[in-house]
Structure formats: C-alpha cells, structure tokens
Amino acid sequence: MKITVMTSDEQILTLDVDRDESVENLKALLEVETQVPLQQQQLLYNGKEIRNPDKLSALGVGDGDLVMMVANNASSRGSQSELGLNPDGSAANPSAFQQHVRNDSNTMAQLFQRDPELAQVLLGNDINKLQEVLRARHRQTSELKRRQEEQMALLYADPFDVEAQKKIEEAIHQKGIDENWEAALEHNPEAFARVVMLYVDMEVNGVPLKAFVDSGAQSTIISKSCAERCGLLRLLDKRYKGIAHGVGQTEILGKIHVAPIKIGPNFYPCSFMVLDAPNMEFLFGLDMLRKHQCTIDLKENVLRVGGGEVAVPFLSEKDIPSHFLDEERFAKDASGSGTQAASATKTNSSSQGGPSGSARQGPDFEAKVSRLMELGFGREQVIQALNFLDGNEEAAASYLFGG
C-alpha cells in the first residue's frame, strides 16, 4: 500500500510499504529518505504518536493515509504541535497546517486529483470549513475501518447463517463500488469536476451575445428581453404562440422568422422561437446547427460552422458571465424548452379554441387534425397521436416531433 508522510521541514514523501510493516521499519526507511536518525523521529497518526513495535495494520493505517513525522528535539516541538491532528481529525493549528500543505505543489496536485473538495478548501480562507472537511474525512476513514472490521468478523461467521451470508454479499457489493470509485479517482479524475457548458461569442442583429450551444434542443431560442435588446421584437409573429411543456412550463410568445447572426467573420440567417424565459438568453439549437452544417469539435474545443469555413472557440469558464453558470437549472430548462418549442403550432384569429392545444376533442377534432397535418404528418399518424393523448393537440404535436 502507499502512504504519505509529511515531515516538519515541509517534505512530502509517498512510500510503498507493506500493511504489516512495523513502525520501526518505517522509520528506518524514512531515515534513508530524510537523513533524520531513526532515534530522533516521532511519527503521528490521527494526532497520536505511534510506537516502534506496533504494526501499521494494527494501528489502522491504510492505503493513502497521512502520517506526520517530526524530529524529536526541542526545535521541532513547535512544528509537532502546529502540524498535528486532533483525535477528531481536525488540525491542531489549522492555519499552520493549511499554509504547510499549500506550500507543497506536489501534494496540492495530488489533492486536486484525489480530493478536489479538500484542495479547494485549502486554497480558500475559511478555516472553519477546512476543519469541517478534515473531520468529515476522519469520519469517512473511521467508517471504512469499521466496515472492514465487520467484514473480518463475517469471515468467521457461521457459513449456514442466512443473515451473515446476506451481509457478506452486501459487503462484496460495496467493495466493488468502492474499488470502482477509487479507479475513477485515479484514471478519470475529471469526472468529479464540474463540466462547463458550451458557449461561443455571436452577434445577433449586431448585438454581441454569449450563445449557449445545445444540440439537444430542437429549436433555436431567444428570450423576450434579449430579442428586445437586439431590436427584433418588432418582427415577432404571434401566430406561433404556444406553451412549451417539458422541465417546467414556459410560454412561447411567437417566432422571428429570419434575422442575421454573426459567427466569426461571417453572417448567417437564423430563425428563433421567442420564449418568456428569464433564466435563459440565447440558445443555439439543433435546427440552426443542422442548417449551417455545424460541428462541435471537442478535441480542438471549437464550433465549426459552414462545413468548417469558420471555427470559433468555446468560451472558458472565466469568460462566461457568472449568472450563466447556474448550469444545472439553465441546461434543463433550456433543453426542455428547446425540445418543446417545436411542438408549438400555428394559431390564427379565427380559431374558436384560442391558442393551439386548448381545444378539446369533439366538434373541433378535425380542425386539430388539419393543423397537425399542416406540419407535415400523415392523417392516420395524427389521429393515432390525438386519440392516444386524449385530444391534447400540443402534447400530440410534441409526441409526433419526438417520434
């Protein structure tokens, strides 16, 4: 197993040792590495001194654990008290501990891979948060040791005890999950980091915008406030009103049939669905991605437009406005609205039932069929969808587009 040893003179050592190695042999190995005589070494684990005859496994030292080493002389006693850990896992002197770890770039690099939360707290200024995280890590380690002890007890359990066998099965299952998590930390640490959504710089009718690129949304969407800022609201065709159902519910105010957008040095015609969506500004959806032969090139981190004639870089996190980075809600709402925007059907002033989808099955059933057929679907297909969805025109349109 591998353990990390932090010395009082700010050395960080990673040692490969046997679980049943004695503390004395560990000190001998450290003497070679640090030139500190074995007799002058004092090793601390979880804030307590560990003695020469003890074995690491008996002390509970496990793979990846941290052991502190201080020189056993008067000048080092201050370092011992500053860098030691309390029985609950918190730092005896959190400020000194924080500064000590910060100063070691190798340790910080390892922490960013293995424990990014602790690394971020160490770089911050919240000492209380640091102590909370250190205590939480101590509790996790203690819980893991407790489970390991239970597993050892199960090995000696009655093989014909049904409950014991169930616990053994659960322990094996949990062990597989833990091993998979550890493998992910080692080989795929980026999976634990936040993924920044894809944004590019565009101009809509001459107004610079940060466009959210979403191939999972059927339609390109612009908010009412953004359309007004770009001078496009005067072109809003309200005959395309509707309701976008999906993650939540958003009103579709209408459609802007064509307006110029600038991507890189080139201009392209674009159509938009206009939504009353305060949490979203401009979403570049699948309809325009297809129309302009766009490619999302994640290797080069660029959006290629026009079959590759233009390539614009995706924005880094620092270039994206902070209010856009509520990514979970933004992505869900935008993708949901984008998918459902295509389900809005054209309405007109002579419609008895008001906005599309509000009429119920009955005398106006044929009118619903006709409107849905205008969208390009066959009569039998439309009737089947309306019957399946109890005559709900909007839901039928969404079902037909989604199918």
Q: How is 53-64 classified by DSSP, letter by letter?
A: T-BHHHHT--TT
Residue 151 host element (H or E) = helix 127-155
**How far does Cα 345 stand from its chain's mean position?**
35
| Separation between Cα atoms, residue 133 and residue 111, nearest integer Å | 13
* Residue 126 annotated as catalytic: no
As given in the structure block, the two tokens for residue 38 are: 């074995």
Contact 256, 235 (CB under 8 A): yes
**Is 2 in contact with 96 (CB distance < 8 Å)?**
no
Catalytic residue among 65, 178, 214, 276: 214
Q: Please answer whether residues 329 and 279 qualify as being in contact, where contact means their C-beta atoms are separated by less than 8 angstroms.
A: yes
Question: Tokens at residue 402, please?
Answer: 């989604």
Q: How far is it, in rounded angstroms, from Cα 172 to Cα 278?
A: 49
CA angle, 160 then 161 then 167, to 5°: 120
Residue that is written with structure tokens 């020469």 in the block: 52
Active-site residues, by number, are 214
